[in-house]
Amino acid sequence: MAAIDILVTGGTFEKEYDERRGRLFFRRTHVGEMLALGRCRLRARVRRLMMIDSLDMTPGDRRRILGACRRGARRIVVTHGTDTMVLTARVLGRAKLGKTIVLTGAMVPYKFGSSDGLFNLGAALAFAQTLPAGVYVAMNGRCFPYDAVRKDRARGVFVQA
């Protein structure tokens, strides 16, 4: 089994822009490309669970993420949309899986070039390797326990709750 599982769920992290229709959409995960670009040397297994906006995520989708975490490695990174990342983190945290699970995402799509996604993925992988068992949200170089974080929508950052 891989040292770290990376579970892909979609979110801004994975979106691309359709110039003809003027909309964001999902095509395929960018995580493999991001790992290569970052010259990642970890043993990691990337698993695409879904490609949806987190605002469209249902309780069933969250159960699917929880199930994948139950079956996954001892250390897991979940890429997730930022709008409901804290909600999913709470579902995972309350399950008390005894694993290190780090949720991360991006405020700007990776394909835009000015995205925070590459940095956030690297930081999440580092946090997943070093933190004790628990569920965390890692964004923009900071990491918070699942039950002590909130998204400050006005500033576009995650802060301690």
β-partners of residue 143 are: 138
pLDDT of residue 2: 61
Q: Which of 9, 12, 79, 88 is catalytic?
A: 12
Q: What is the DSSP string of 51-82?
A: EE-GGG--HHHHHHHHHHHHHS-SEEEEE--S
Average pLDDT over residues 10-18: 80
The Cα–Cα gap between 120 and 110 comes to: 11
The pTM for the full model equals 0.92
The Cα–Cα gap between 85 and 151 comes to: 9
pLDDT of residue 88: 98
| In this structure, CATH architecture of domain 4-160 | 3-Layer(aba) Sandwich (3.40)
21 band by pLDDT with thresholds 50, 70 and 90 = confident
β-partners of residue 47 are: 7
Phi, psi of 123 (to 5 degrees): -65, -45
For the chain, how many helices (H) and strands (E)?
4, 10
List, in sequence order, every beta strand (DSSP E) within the chain.
4-10, 15-18, 23-26, 44-52, 75-79, 100-104, 134-139, 142-145, 149-152, 157-160
Q: Which of 33-47, 55-69, 136-150 has the lowest mean pLDDT?
A: 33-47
pLDDT of residue 69: 98
Asked if the model's pLDDT at residue 1 lies above 60, the reply is no
Residue 58 known to be catalytic:
no
Length of the chain in residues, anyone?
161
pLDDT of residue 25: 64
